[in-house]
């Protein structure tokens, strides 16, 4: 089952069209994508094969989970990413927060604010929590998952690695968390512990890997996080990125105005986000530069 957020309404992918769940069930099921996460079993039981819908290719897709209570992300969770960084493997998961205000859809623009130049890419599998999780065991963790989606943990490296290092704000600029195109339930995934993922810029492959190579598996991440903070339905967990990011290339490679960032997760979907420099687009309000973070 694949659920989309189309202009704030949850829709089910049926063949190549998107069917509005609330309209198709005569208002028995909700239009709110966040409420739909709590009613996946009911949605899965629907037969909407004859229902009217809109072509999926033409739909304006938002992030499939638009209003999570929190977004957690795993840093340093692939060995090849640690090796390119010259870092040692962490003894336990290294989680940080991304702000939900950074969320955008799978075809939306990624906006680089004026004065920012060291903007990096990180393709990641994103896990969607399906029910409240507190002190969950590793063995039970998958049962708390509503589904998965594709994500980009876009990162301002200058902000991330300044003298007083912090990651949350560096990874939470508006538009720095594209997700989508769909929330994909686990029954659609051939092997939930071995999901290939790649990242491309203007057709050139930058990253390639598989979740089989995660240092801390999805169940381990969920269990660890749930022993610190109660996970709520709709919370998102970015699981880490493989090697191939721009910061550790020689010379470093940064996202540029006009480029297309393509993120592919096999069996889950793909995103294409155009990079837009606000300065290059001429979209800066008078006096806005003074409010931009500096390092």
Residue 244 has pLDDT above 60, yes or no: yes
pLDDT value of position 291: 43
| Residue-wise pLDDT tens digits, 116-132 | 999 999 999 999 999 99
Could you tell me which of 168, 142, 164 has the C-alpha nearest to residue 153?
Answer: 168
**Topology of the domain comprising 71-291:** Fumarylacetoacetate hydrolase; domain 2 (3.90.850)
Quick one: pLDDT band at residue 24, thresholds 50, 70, 90?
very high
| Residue-wise pLDDT tens digits, 43-83 | 999 999 989 999 999 999 999 999 999 999 999 999 999 99
For 8, 61, 114, 224, the CA distances from 107, given in Å and listed in that order, are: 15, 7, 22, 32
| Residue-wise pLDDT tens digits, 145-174 | 999 999 999 999 999 988 677 789 999 999
Which residues are registered as beta bridge partners of 75? 94
Q: How far apart are CA 109 and CA 276, in angstroms?
A: 6
For 11, 115, 132, the CA distances from 120, given in Å and listed in that order, are: 32, 15, 33
For 57, the 3-state DSSP assignment is: helix
pTM of structure = 0.93
Residues of the chain with CATH 3.90.850.10: 71-291
Mean pLDDT of the chain: 93
Dihedral angle over CA of 122, 61, 183, 35, nearest 10: 130
Please give the structure tokens belonging to residue 260.
């297309």
CA 250 remoteness from chain centre: 27
| DSSP letter (8 states) at residue 133 | B
């Amino acid at each position: 089952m694949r659920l989309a957020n189309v202009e704030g309404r949850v829709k089910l992918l049926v063949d190549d069209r998107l069917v509005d769940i609330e309209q198709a069930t005569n208002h028995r099921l909700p239009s709110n994508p966040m409420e739909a996460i709590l009613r996946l079993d009911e949605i899965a039981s629907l037969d909407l094969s004859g229902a009217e819908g809109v072509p999926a290719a033409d739909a304006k897709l938002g992030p499939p989970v638009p209003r999570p209570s929190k977004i957690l992300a795993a840093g340093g969770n692939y060995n090849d990413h640690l090796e390119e960084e010259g870092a040692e493997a962490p003894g336990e998961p290294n989680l940080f927060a991304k702000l939900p205000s950074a969320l955008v859809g799978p075809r939306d623009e990624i906006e680089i604010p004026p004065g920012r130049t060291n903007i990096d890419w990180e393709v990641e599998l994103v896990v969607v929590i399906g029910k409240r999780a507190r002190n969950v065991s590793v063995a039970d963790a998958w049962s708390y998952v509503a589904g998965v989606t594709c994500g980009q943990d876009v990162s301002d490296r200058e902000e991330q690695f300044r003298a007083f290092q912090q990651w949350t704000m560096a990874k939470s600029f508006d538009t720095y968390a594209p997700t989508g195109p769909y929330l994909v339930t686990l029954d659609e995934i051939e092997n939930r512990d071995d999901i290939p993922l790649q990242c491309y810029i203007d057709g050139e492959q930058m990253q390639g890997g598989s979740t089989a190579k995660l240092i801390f598996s999805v169940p381990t991440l969920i269990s660890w996080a749930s022993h610190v903070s109660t996970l709520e339905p709709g919370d998102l967990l970015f699981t880490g990125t493989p090697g191939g990011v721009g910061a550790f290339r020689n010379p470093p490679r940064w996202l540029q105005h006009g480029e297309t960032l393509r993120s592919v997760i096999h069996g889950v979907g793909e995103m294409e986000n155009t990079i837009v420099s606000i300065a290059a687009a001429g979209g800066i309000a008078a006096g806005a530069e003074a409010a931009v973070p500096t390092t």
